[in-house]
Amino acid sequence: MTSAEQISFPHRHLLGIEGLKSDEITLLLDRAEGYVDQNRQADKKRSLLRGRTIINLFFENSTRTRTSFELAGKRLGGDVINMSVAASSIKKGETLIDTAMTLTAMHPDVLIVRHPESGAVRLLAEKVDCAVINAGDGSHEHPTQAILDALTIRRRKGKLAGLEVAICGDVLHSRVARSNIALLNTMGARVRVVAPRTLLPAEIGRLGVEVFHNMADGLKGADIVMMLRLQTERMHGSFVPSIREYFHFFGLDYAKLAAAKPDAMVMHPGPMNRGIEIDTVLADDIDRSMIRQQVEMGVAVRMACLDVLTRDLGNGPPIQ
């Protein structure tokens, strides 16, 4: 048992990376390592969550995140229910609280929530009496994505501290970017963001990152190049002149990747817009791309999160 394994997880919910300490993140990463091995065996099932009810409550479309949480819950022996609430039926505020009240009456142990509005998952967590995991709220946070990205990087590079990580593309609309910036800074990596000015949030200067507006400078010497999806569904108005021009300047291909370290690895949270933010051959190149490993690590990380939140149920204050 490492020293991080002995530290208990003092939070009732997992609402974001902000508020997590480095030893708490390390605890989740170490716990997930064990589940990676379990998930590669023929018998993947354990009974840790036997008798527990987990509800996947998704107010926004999702394939991999919802499936990943569902598998994670089932592999730990829990009962998993999927509830998808169509975006059109959301009458903000009241509906969310009503849903929370209804679900609470069913005595779930963990609620996994994705919602298009930033802050909605925290609001819901305040109204229910079970553990809540944020599976993505608006452009705010997506903590399990950042933890699975960290596990993918740590397994490949052997560490997080001291690495140069370039996060590129639509940072403005990306909860993945926010959670990754928070996690990587906490773990001692150095983060740069590379994006056109129109795709950066106003508060970028306060996030502890170096900002670049072209790939050649931003990728120089990077160990990891993390690409983000151009999130057109969150764009109201025109943020990029044209898709062709976007790929020309900000799409990752072999030529742009050449500015990074020779052993630099490429990541993308999915779903990918092939040919828009990333060259399709590069995305599938197992020598340069870790996109498949990210998906694999996702299940293990979500098992670790369910594990720690149910073991320590009710033992501490929520993450602030």
Q: List residues near ligand NCD by CB under 6 A.
A: 64-65, 136, 142, 145, 175-176, 229, 231, 269-270
Q: Are the C-beta atoms of residues 59 and 87 closer than 8 Å to each other?
A: yes
> Who contacts 233 (Cβ-Cβ below 8 Å, separation ≥6)?
none
**Smallest distance from ligand NCD to CB 61, Å:** 9
Residues 236, 232: Cα–Cα separation, whole Å: 8
**Smallest distance from ligand NCD to CB 271, Å:** 6
**Smallest distance from ligand NCD to CB 113, Å:** 13
Residues 264, 296: Cα–Cα separation, whole Å: 20
Q: Are the C-beta atoms of residues 299 and 259 closer than 8 Å to each other?
A: no
Kindly report the number of other CB atoms within 10 A of residue 180's CB atom. 31
Residues 193, 133: Cα–Cα separation, whole Å: 27
Residues 38, 258: Cα–Cα separation, whole Å: 36
Q: Quick one: tokens of 160?
A: 């997080």
User: Please, which residue, 143 or 196, has the CB nearer to ligand NCD?
Assistant: 143
Residue 208's nearest CA partner among 227, 185, 229 is 185
User: Please, which residue, 16 or 269, has the CB nearer to ligand NCD?
Assistant: 269
User: Please, which residue, 124 or 259, has the CB nearer to ligand NCD?
Assistant: 124
Host H or E run for residue 226: strand 224-227
Q: In terms of C-beta density within 10 A (0-12 exposed, 13-18 middle, 19 or more buried), how is residue 315 classed?
A: exposed
- Evaluated on CA atoms 138, 140, 143, 148, the torsion sign reads positive
**Smallest distance from ligand NCD to CB 304, Å:** 17
User: Please, which residue, 35 or 69, has the CB nearer to ligand NCD?
Assistant: 69
User: Please, which residue, 163 or 177, has the CB nearer to ligand NCD?
Assistant: 177
User: Please, which residue, 65 or 289, has the CB nearer to ligand NCD?
Assistant: 65
**Smallest distance from ligand NCD to CB 136, Å:** 5
**Smallest distance from ligand NCD to CB 109, Å:** 23
**Smallest distance from ligand NCD to CB 137, Å:** 9
Looking at the chain, the number of H-run helices and the number of E-run strands are 12, 9
Q: What is the largest CA-CA distance in the chain?
A: 56
Q: What spatial distance separates the first Cα and last Cα of the chain, rounded to whole Å?
A: 29
User: Please, which residue, 75 or 140, has the CB nearer to ligand NCD?
Assistant: 140
User: Please, which residue, 52 or 251, has the CB nearer to ligand NCD?
Assistant: 251
Residue nearest to ligand NCD (CB): 229
Question: Is the backbone of residue 275 left (phi > 0), alpha (psi -120 to 50) or beta?
Answer: left
**Smallest distance from ligand NCD to CB 41, Å:** 25
